[in-house]
Amino acid sequence: MDKNLASETLLVVEEKEKGKPTVKAATGGFDHNGNPQTVPPWEKNNPDFLQIDKHGNALENFFSNFMRQCKNPTQFTFFKLPADGVEQMATVIGDIIKNGYESGRDLLDAYRLKPEDYLNKQNKQQNAETAMKTPNDTKEKQTAIAEHEVDWNNLGKLGISKEMLKEKNCLETMLNYGKTPLLPVKMELDGVSIDTQARLAFRKGDDDKLTVSVHGVRAQPELDKPFYGHKFTDDEKKTLWETGNLGKVLDLQKSDGSVLPVYVSIDKLTNEVIALRADKVKIPDEIKGVTLDDRQRQELQEGKAVWVENMTNRNGKAFSAHLQVNADRKGLEFIFNEHAQSQQNSLQIPSKLGGVNLSEQQQADLKAEKTIYVEGLTDTKGEKYNAYIKANPEKGKLDFFKWNPDKAQEKTPDNAHQTQQAVNSQGKTNEATKNINEPLKPGQTQPNERQQEEAETRQKSRGVKM
């Protein structure tokens, strides 16, 4: 069974009594005790399963909430399985655990997940993203706040020391007014000592005095409450819930009657709603080796998610992703999931497709939902092809056709496809193609040299009929 499938889900084994485990599939939600909400691991419940995208952070968010809310996390065991085989595997895993089969230990270990591993991954990702914003030589770089300005004794009352911050690789982040990852914090509430988790950040008030801001964890984002006087609409709530970013610049009304444009995002670690002044964000001309065009820069400035292709990571490998301003991270973030496109007010039309630069007229036609014809596109296997292309605003993507979709009732391919379609789709042959078994490539009307040699060999092997 392929464990690397993109469509995977989480199996939850709860053992309240020794030898009596219950095996169910997680939905992604939690009850009032912080226990995972589940459904029977039957195929018919597949739509309710927690969907795990290998490019997303569903597991990190799930385990972060689980460890934060669950009163007795040790009674749960987790396994990640392909969603289309979860019913059979649930039965097998349940039998192994119930009967203590030694021979099944390797199978359990192959699919078992540990919540703490994903919390560590989330913290490492947060630190890596912080490191991306600064040059490689930041070790000697002067920070915005000097260490001697910090009241370490006051910070120690929260259970935080300089050594801990260095160990967690977040001291420099704090000294540059950034937030730490989730840290164990001790606080007193009405004389009662409480151990919790929170993100910390330094702030300076009007008196220039340095204080520690504690960003505690919330069960969920408080979107129903007024946000600096603004009441989120249902559409704005939906966008924030699904994507974590508002997807536009929000104009907040200040007490003096002036307007303050801000970006709004949700802190993924604490569920706090964060605002960032729009004038504090500078959109770069280039990112990861790709020069952004005027349209991309404008839409990023407006808070929209923008698709950027062929960026280069630190290992020299090309990748594509959506870019968007994230208020919590105080800059651009890379988004590798399906939600980014859904929050845009209109379909994002690329300037380049399949290695072919689109003219301004072609881009304008696509935006106007007109069909364009593009030659010389390159597919994922490196093969060239031609295609009609039309925007699909309902699905937020571009659709590709062999024939003109505006004349779909006739289904008349372009001239370059006529012979190819007759051979590949209709089973017709001509003298050149009658012994060719494999489909012709787009635009191909005659067999190539290799195909011709195979056809001649096939003809000879048939022999002479008596």
- Comparing CA positions, the residue from 158, 196, 223, 221 lying closest to residue 68 is 196
Instruction: Work out the pLDDT band at 374, boundaries 50, 70, 90.
Output: very high
362 touches 344 (CB < 8 A): no
3-state secondary structure (DSSP) of residue 194: strand
CB 49 within 8 A of CB 198: no
Q: What is the pLDDT of residue 340?
A: 47
Two tokens at 344?
A: 């845009």
Q: In the predicted model, what is the mean pLDDT of residues 65-91?
A: 82
pLDDT for 304 equals: 92
Tokens of residue 125, six digits: 């990702």
pLDDT at 324 over 90: yes
Spatial contact of 265 and 278, defined as CB atoms under 8 Å apart = no
Range ranked top by mean pLDDT from 68-77, 204-213, 383-392: 383-392
Q: Between the ranges 63-72, 132-141, 160-169, where is the mean pLDDT highest?
A: 160-169
* CA R_g for the chain: 28
Sorting pLDDT into bands at 50, 70 and 90, what band is 3? Answer: very low
Longest dimension (CA), the chain: 107
- CB-based contact 170:127 (threshold 8 Å): yes
**Cβ 227 vs Cβ 251: under 8 Å:** no
Higher pLDDT, 128 or 186: 186
Model confidence at 406, in pLDDT bands (50, 70, 90)?
confident
Edge-to-edge strands, sheet with 76-82: 36-39, 22-30, 8-14, 76-82, 112-113
Q: What per-residue confidence (pLDDT) applies to 375? A: 93
pLDDT above 90 as % of the chain: 21
pLDDT of residue 260: 93
Q: What is the pLDDT of residue 302?
A: 92
Identify the DSSP state of 34. S
Mean pLDDT (whole number) for 260-270: 92
d(C-alpha 248, C-alpha 227), whole Å = 15
CA 148 to each of CA 145, 152, 153, 175, 349: distance values in angstroms, whole numbers, following the listed order: 8, 9, 12, 11, 51
The residues, any chain, with a CB within 8 Å of residue 128's CB and separated by 6 or more, are: none
**Cα gap 84→101, rounded to integer Å:** 25
Q: Do 43 and 9 meet the contact criterion of CB atoms below 8 Å apart?
A: no
Q: Give the separation between CA 121 and CA 114, rounded to whole angstroms.
A: 11
One-letter identity of residue 145: I
Dist CA 430 CA 413 (whole Å):
19
C-beta separation of 16 from 75 below 8 A: yes
DSSP run (H or E) holding 162: helix 162-167
> Bridge-partner residues for 310, per DSSP?
none
Of residues 270, 244, 273, 271, the one with CA closest to residue 182: 270
Q: For the CA atoms of 38, 43, 44, 49, what is the dihedral angle to 10 degrees?
A: 40
DSSP for 208-271, written as a single string: --EEEEEEE--SS---SS-BTTBPPPHHHHHHHHHHSB-SS-EEEEPTTS-EEEEEEEE-TTT-
Residue type for 141, please? Answer: K
pLDDT at res. 127: 59
Token pair 């706040």 in the structure block, residue: 145
Q: The tokens 């021979």 sit on which residue?
A: 103
Residue with more model confidence, 268 or 436: 268
CB-side neighbour CA atoms (13 Å) of 19? 1
Per-residue pLDDT for 230 more than 80? yes
* CA 431 to the chain's CA centroid: 52
Tokens of 342: 């859904």
**What's the pLDDT tens digit per position in 15-56?**
766 557 888 888 888 887 778 889 898 888 888 888 776 556
One-letter identity of residue 331: G
Nearest Cα to Cα of residue 346 among 387, 410, 397: 397
| pLDDT tens per residue across span 171-204 | 998 998 889 998 998 887 777 778 888 899 998 8
Closest CA to 389 of 399, 378, 397: 399
Q: What is the pLDDT of residue 165?
A: 92
CA angle 436, 439, 441 (to 5 degrees): 120
Comparison of pLDDT for 389 and 342, the residue scoring more? 389
Is the separation of the CB atoms in 281 and 296 below 8 Å? no
| Paired residues of 202 in beta bridges | 212
3-state secondary structure of 459: helix
Amino acid 249: pLDDT: 93
Residue 141 has pLDDT above 60, yes or no: no
